[in-house]
Chains A and B, each alone.
Chain A
Amino acid sequence: MITTTDLTKVYRSRDREVTALDGVSLHVRPGEVFGVIGRSGAGKSTLIRCLNLLERPTSGTVTVDGVDLTALGGRGHRARRPLRQARARIGMIFQHFNLLSSRTVKGNVELPLEILGLGRRERSRKALELLDLVGLADKAKAYPAQLSGGQKQRVGIARALAGDPKVLLSDEATSALDPETTRSVLGLLRDLNRQLGLTILLITHEMDVVKTVCDSAALMAEGRIVESGAVSELLATPGSRLAHELFPVGGPQGAAGRTTVDLTFHGATAGDPVVSRLARTHGIDVSIVGAALDTVGGHQVGRMRIELPGTFEDNVLAIGFLREQGLTVELPAQAGLPGQGAPPPDGAPPPPPASGRTAAAGRAGEAGEAGEGAETVGAEGAEGGAA
């Protein structure tokens, strides 16, 4: 539905060049919710703005619903008619909603319909229908200033759907909302995705958003896609950075005479009482150090850090047992040893997750909010995991 090939965007100012996008190739399948996650400055905003050519990429192509937008004339600002028509079929919602304060809620939803050239009666009918869809039928006559943040974003969503788009771009749409409102707006996006078969590409710095709604995700850093794929597959990939950031497990590791093991639950294994079975069959006292479990795309997934008494050699059997149960097993402290689930460096620029947690924590420290947000989630999840 959305395909970019080798997308590059370089900003030139008088004496320097900034590469915001560095060869981004992305493929979003029809009907999926695709999340692009990354820190501020990773290039995600530039990416989403290149997708409807609000920014014209320096090189590369963007194809949305079979139309090569980059081939259509006009620059970001001076868009020619074919590009404008293509844009009208791509919905977009924004972090700060971007509603016109001079128009009522209904008037805001009618704006794209005016651009499409619909008649007055038709506009009114369609706008009310859309407001009903987002649950704001009773606010049609209100002005945006009278609405809460969540309601404003619902108006933004109604407005974005006015052109019957197949694709919705969401530019940090929940970043200005509190957690509860975020959940309700994400729930609405999920419903629209299912009801209308709407393909959604969202960018965010909140891991929680990816966890809640995304089928697939891509991690961006320094203008490049570091990792991408279906969320459930990424979780099953040993050493996935995204998995580490989605489910950061806390707790110290590597106490002397103990073996720290990171487990990733995904798919069918998630429901199994693996840990208690391990304790029973091998007579081992397992301590849960940290855990983050959640439901992603309807499947229970997550990661857990457990500690086993004794050195690695003492626990070979137990670790073998865990692998047999279909879990992805990583040994953060033993990463140097051969064949212990630590991935080979895969060419990703930042440190390979040999000591997964430490690396994640270090990076989170650098950039603040994203990492910290995820940390809290980890702590919440831990209770569920232990129970």
Chain B
Amino acid sequence: MTWEEMRPLLEQGTIDTLYMTFWSTLVAVLGGLPLGVLLVLTDRGGPLQNLPLNRVIGVVVNVGRSLPFIILMVALIPVTRSIVGTAIGPTAAIVPLAIGAIPFFARLVETAVREVDHGLVEAAWAMGGGTWTVVLKVLLPQALPSLVAGLTTTVIAVIGYSAMAGAVGGGGLGTLALTYGYQRFEHGFTLITVAVLVLVVTAVQLLGDGAVRLLARRTRTSG
């Protein structure tokens, strides 16, 4: 394969990967953030203590996290088909990617929110704040640097999963590496795909680290 042949493929593959990553991360945040916060709130001693609910969410999250992604993807094909209308292509891959990433992000949110000093929660209560105040004005803002770090981890995990989506015709860089690189023995092409993935992941990590540093600066004593 010549570079002229590869270039349009790589460009389209990268765009597809970013497209899948963006939308599934968005859904993962919308689903995982409330779940993670609920895990903390409903836990023993939490403001909305509800142990049965806590247990149920915990089990769902654990099951979601322990399923190998490739199996989750195959198992979700009927669901995907009913939502998107097809089980093939980047848009179809968003469904299993998002569903796989929700529990992943939820756990990271839980850890981040749990780290917030309980004294701050009590202070908000003492001011007359309710649960909404506590969540929106104390827990989430205080956990923001950790949440952004968790988001970075999630994006990178989703990029990894999206390559797996190539196995069932999901599109993106993973499909390229499999169909052109693996099945046509174009090892050079596989390496180039990997290089592009590394670049994308590195860029995301640097971006995320930068954001965390910016957010965390105010909490340090230096200024």
Given contacts A143-B218, A146-B223, contact A100 B138 (CB under 8 A): yes
- Nearest CB to that of B125 among chain A residues? A54
Residue interface bits B139-158, CB-to-A below 8 A is 1, else 0: 00110100000000000000
Supposing A111-B137, A114-B137 touch, asked if A100 and B120 sit within 8 A by C-beta, the answer is yes
- Write the A95-125 contact mask toward B (1 if CB under 8 angstroms, else 0): 0101111110000000110111000000000
B128 pairs with A115, CB closer than 8 A: yes
Most buried by A among B48, B125, B126: B126
Q: Is B127 an interface residue (CB 8 A)?
A: yes
Contacts of A163 in B (CB 8 A): 127-128
Could you tell me if A87 and B48 are in contact, using CB atoms closer than 8 angstroms? no
Q: A101-B218, A115-B133, A146-B223 are in contact. Are A54 and B47 (CB under 8 A)?
A: no
- Residues of A with C-beta under 8 A to B184: none
Q: Are B48 and A116 in contact (CB under 8 A)?
A: no
Segment 197-223 of B: residues with Cβ below 8 Å from A: 218-221, 223
Contact A96 B119 (CB under 8 A): yes
| Chain A proximity of B220: nearest CB distance (Å) | 6
List which A135-151 residues lie within 8 A (CB) of chain B.
142-143, 145-146
* B129 nearest in chain A by CB position: A115
Pairwise interchain contact A111-B125, C-beta atoms closer than 8 A: no
A67 to chain B, nearest CB (A): 13
Min distance, Cβ A97 to any Cβ of chain B, angstroms = 8
Residues of chain B within 8 A (CB-CB) of A98 are 117, 119-120, 122-123
Q: Which residues of B contact A92 (CB under 8 A)?
A: 123, 126-127
How far is A88 from B125 in the complex, measured between Cα atoms in Å? Answer: 9
Identify whether the interface residues of B are mostly helix, strand, loop, or mixed.
Answer: helix
Q: At the interface, yes or no: B85 with Cβ under 8 Å from chain A?
A: no
Distance in Å: Cβ of A126 to nearest Cβ of chain B: 14
Bound together, the chains give a CA A98 to CA B141 distance in angstroms of: 14
Instruction: Determine the distance from Cα of A85 to Cα of B127 in the docked complex, in whole angstroms.
Output: 9
What B residues does A86 contact at CB under 8 A?
128
B223 CB contacts on chain A under 8 angstroms: 142-143, 145-146
CB-based contact A87/B125 at 8 Å: yes
Q: A145-B223, A146-B223 are in contact. Are A102 and B129 (CB under 8 A)?
A: no
Nearest-Cβ distance from residue B109 to partner chain A, whole angstroms: 16
Residues of chain A lying within 8 A (CB to CB) of residue B131: 77-78
* In the assembled complex, B124 has its CB within 8 A of some CB on chain A: yes
Shortest Cβ distance from residue A316 to the other chain B in the assembled complex, whole angstroms: 57
Residues of A within 8 A of B218 (CB): 101-102, 143, 145
Residues of B within 8 A of A78 (CB): 47-48, 131
Q: A145–B221 contact, CB under 8 A?
A: yes
> Is A94 close to B, CB under 8 A?
yes
Q: Does B68 contact A (CB under 8 A)?
A: no
Q: Is B219 touching A84 in the complex (CB atoms < 8 A)?
A: no
On whether the beta carbons of A90 and B219 are closer than 8 Å, the reply is no
Question: Which residues between 42 and 61 of chain A lie within 8 Å of chain B, taking CB atoms?
Answer: 52, 54
Instruction: Determine whether B179 belongs to the interface, using a CB cutoff of 8 Å to chain A.
Output: no
Check if B128 sits within 8 Å of A112, measured CB to CB.
Answer: yes
Could you tell me the distance between the alpha carbons of A7 and B223 in the complex, rounded to whole angstroms?
46
**Does residue A79 face the partner (Cβ distance < 8 Å to B)?**
yes
Complex-state Cα separation, A84 to B133, whole angstroms? 11
Q: Chain B residues near A111 (CB, 8 Å)?
A: 124, 127, 137
Assuming the contacts A77-B49, A145-B218, A146-B223, asked whether A84 and B130 have C-beta atoms less than 8 A apart, the reply is yes
Do the beta carbons of B47 and A145 come within 8 Å of each other? no
Flag if B221 contacts A100 (CB, 8 Å).
Answer: no
Q: Assess the B220–A77 pair: CB atoms within 8 A.
A: no
**Residues on the B chain within 8 Å of A96, using CB:** 117, 119
Chain B residue at minimum C-beta to C-beta distance from A108: B123
A101-B117 Cα distance, complex, nearest whole Å: 11
Separation of A87 and B123 alpha carbons in the complex (Å): 11
A358 to chain B, nearest CB (A): 39
Residues of chain A within 8 A of B133, CB atoms compared: 114-115
The answer to whether B219 touches A52 (Cβ under 8 A) is no
**Chain B: which residue is nearest A147 at the CB level?**
B221
- Docked pose: A162 CA to B129 CA in angstroms: 13
Cβ contacts under 8 Å, A85 to chain B? 128
Residue of B nearest to A83 (CB): B128
Q: Is the CB of B142 within 8 A of A100?
A: yes
| Complex CA distance for A52 and B128, rounded to whole angstroms | 10
Chain A residues with CB under 8 Å of B123's CB are 92, 94, 98
Chain A interface residues (CB < 8 Å from chain B): 52, 54, 76-79, 84-90, 92, 94, 96, 98-103, 111-112, 114-116, 142-143, 145-146, 159, 162-163, 169
14 interchain pairs, CB-CB under 8 A: A54-B122, A85-B128, A87-B126, A87-B128, A89-B128, A94-B122, A98-B123, A99-B120, A100-B138, A101-B142, A102-B141, A143-B219, A145-B220, A159-B127
- Chain B interface (Cβ within 8 Å of chain A)? 46-49, 117, 119-120, 122-131, 133, 137-138, 141-142, 144, 218-221, 223
| Contacts A85-B128, A115-B129 supplied; 11 other A-B pairs, CB < 8 Å | A52-B126, A76-B125, A79-B125, A88-B127, A89-B128, A96-B117, A102-B144, A115-B127, A116-B128, A143-B218, A145-B218
**6 smallest beta-carbon distances between A and B, as pairs:** A88-B128, A98-B123, A112-B127, A92-B126, A77-B47, A98-B119
